[in-house]
Amino acid sequence: MMYKSVDIQQRLVGLKSLLDRINRSWTKGDAEQLMLFIVEMFPRLFTAERCSIFISDPDSENVWLKYGTGLQEKEIIAPKEGSIVGRSITSGETIIRGDLDREMGFHSQADKSTAFTTRNLICVPIKSLVGAYHIGAVELLNKRSTVGFTEEDERLILKVVKFLALSLENNTVADEMIRISRGVHEEITRTGKRLEGKHQFISESPAMRRVVDMALKVGPLPVNVFITGESGTGKEVIARMVHEQSEDRRGRPFVAVNCSSIPETLMESEFFGYEKGAFTGAAAPRMGRFEEAAGGTLFLDEIADMPLSIQPKFLRAIQENEGVRLGGSKVHHYRFRIISASSRNLQEAVDKGDFREDLFFRLFSIDITIPPLRERREDIVPLAMMFLKEVNHRFKKRVSGYTNEVIELFENSPWPGNVRQLQHEVERLVALTTDGEQISADFCSLRSSGAQASPAEEVLDSYSLPLHKRRTEIRLITKALAQTNGNKIQASKLLEITRQSLHNKIKLYQIGQGDQVS
C-alpha cells in the first residue's frame, strides 16, 4: 500500500478539469453581464435613478459596491455597522427609507464621492441559497414618485434576488473549490518532498494528514512508537515511514513480525534465535529477530496477541538490550527501535491480565492512531485511483477507470477490511475487466442484488434541506438493508444508529413495504 503524491495530484487535475467543464455553461463573464443588466434595467423598471449591488465579505466588517449605476469601474466600500446596506445584510431585512437628503450618514459620505444626492432608497438583502446568511444586497436609489419605494417594489425585487444569489454563489463555490484544490496540491507537494522513503502515506483527509504529520515528527526521535488501528488500515506502512525518517536507521533493517501468526511454542526461538542442536530439527544456528533488527527497527504487529509466557523474557531483553539464543550461552547485544501495533485495545488487554502492564508502559511512548477508512471517506476515491494504476502495471493491463456507479459504491461502502479490502477489490475488478474498458458494477462484490436506485439524487431540483435529508436517509437505509439482505440489526450497525431508530425511520419513510425484513 503506497500513497503517492503524484496520483493525488493527478486526481486534483481531474477535479479541476471537471469543475471547468461544469462551469463552461455559466462563466464569471456571464455572471458579470447579469449584474450589469440588472443595474441597467432596475432603474427603468422601478422608475429609480440608480441601482447598486453590494457583496458582503465574510472575513471583514465591510461590504463592497461592485456593480452600480454610474460606478465607472470604481468600488465603494461600506461598513457593516453604520450604513443602511450593512444593516440590511446583517439583519436580513429589507429597509425602505425616505428624506435621506436631510440626514447624515454613510450614504451622504458616498454621495460626496459620486457627486450624487440620495433622497430615498430600498435595500433588499441577497440571501444565500445554501446557508442561513446573506451574501449581499440590492439597493435602489431615488424613486421618481411622491410616495417613494413600497412593499410592492420589495416583492418584485425579491423575485430577481434569488437568481442573483444563484449566480453569485456559483462563482464563489467555483473559486473556493479551485482554492482548496490548489491548497491540497501544495500540501501534497510539500509533504512529498519531506517523505524520502518509498513508503509514502499521503492522503486528502485531515485525519490522515495528522497521522502523516505525527509520523514525520516522531520519526527522527529515539522513542518507541505504538500504532493503533483496525486491521487493514496501513499500520505497517506508517511504521516504515517512521523508520525511514530516522537518519540513523533508514539504511538499517526494518524487521516486521506478526505476533499473532507465531505459535507460542516457537515464539522464543523466533525472537532470540537458536544454536545448532538446540532442538530436533535445528540443523544449523539461526539468529533471532532481535539480532536481525540490529541498528534498525523491530516492528511488532498485533502485539496484543503476544503470549504471556514470552512477555517476561521479552521485557528483560528490551530493557537490558541483550539476550541468549535458545540452546546457547553467548550473550548477544541488541540495539534497535521498537514500533509496535495492534488492532485491539492494548489497555483492555492489560486490564484483563492478558498483557503485562510493565511491558505496556515500555512500549507505549508515542501513540499514533489510524482512523478506519469509513471515517475518512475523502481518501476512498484517491486510493482507488492509485490502486488502479498500480494493479494495471502489475497485471500488465490497461483498464481505463471506474464508472460513476462503482465510484458511488466505493464511497458508500463501510469497508470493514479498510484499505486492504479496497486494494483487493480493485485487484479483483481489474482482473475481470477487459482492457480499454471502464470498471463497471457488474463484477463489484460490494453490489447488492436488491439495491434500488437513489431517488432524484442526480438533479438538484430543490434547495430544501429537509427534503434532501429525507432523500439521503431513504437512500442509505435502502442500501444498508439491501447489503444485509434485510437484516435490521446488521443494517443499523452499518448506519451507526440503534435498531429502534432504524425501525422508526423505515416506518416513517415507508421503506420496503411488502418486503421481508428481519
* CATH code of the domain covering residue 431: 1.10.8.60
How many C-beta atoms surround the C-beta of residue 300 within 10 A?
24
Q: What is the pLDDT confidence band of residue 313, given thresholds at 50, 70 and 90?
A: very high
**Which of 127, 118, 71, 69 lies closest to 97 in space, CA to CA?**
118
**Per-residue pLDDT at 95:** 93
Confirm whether 262 is domain-assigned: yes
**Per-residue pLDDT at 128:** 82
- Least confident range of 13-27, 91-105, 301-315, 353-367: 13-27
Highest mean pLDDT: which range of 21-30, 49-58, 464-473: 49-58
The domain of 96 spans 28-173
Please check whether residues 33 and 10 belong to one and the same domain.
Answer: no
How many C-beta atoms surround the C-beta of residue 102 within 10 A?
8
Question: Does 41 score more than 70 pLDDT?
Answer: yes
- Least confident range of 280-294, 365-379, 496-510: 496-510
Please check whether residues 214 and 361 belong to one and the same domain.
Answer: yes
Please check whether residues 247 and 295 belong to one and the same domain.
Answer: yes
Looking at residues 436-460, what average pLDDT do you find?
Answer: 61
- Least confident range of 165-174, 213-222, 224-233, 306-315: 165-174
Please check whether residues 323 and 210 belong to one and the same domain.
Answer: yes
Write the CB contacts of 196 (distance below 8 Å, at least 6 apart in sequence). 244, 250
- Least confident range of 126-140, 207-221, 286-300, 329-343: 126-140
Identify whether the C-beta of residue 312 lies closer than 8 Å to the C-beta of residue 319: no
Please check whether residues 262 and 229 belong to one and the same domain.
Answer: yes
Question: Does 461 score more than 70 pLDDT?
Answer: no
Element (H, E) at 476: helix 465-483
Element (H, E) at 336: none
Question: Does 183 score more than 80 pLDDT?
Answer: no
Confirm whether 455 is domain-assigned: no
Please check whether residues 36 and 79 belong to one and the same domain.
Answer: yes
Better pLDDT: 484 or 346: 346
Please check whether residues 85 and 167 belong to one and the same domain.
Answer: yes
Q: What value does the mean pLDDT of the chain take?
A: 80
- Least confident range of 42-56, 198-212, 395-409, 420-434: 198-212
Helix, strand, coil in percent for the chain, rounding step 5: 50, 15, 35
Please check whether residues 344 and 414 belong to one and the same domain.
Answer: no
**Per-residue pLDDT at 173:** 59
Share of the chain above pLDDT 90, in %: 29
CA 428 vs. chain centroid, Å, equals 26
**What pTM did the predictor assign?**
0.50
**Per-residue pLDDT at 147:** 84
Please check whether residues 357 and 398 belong to one and the same domain.
Answer: no
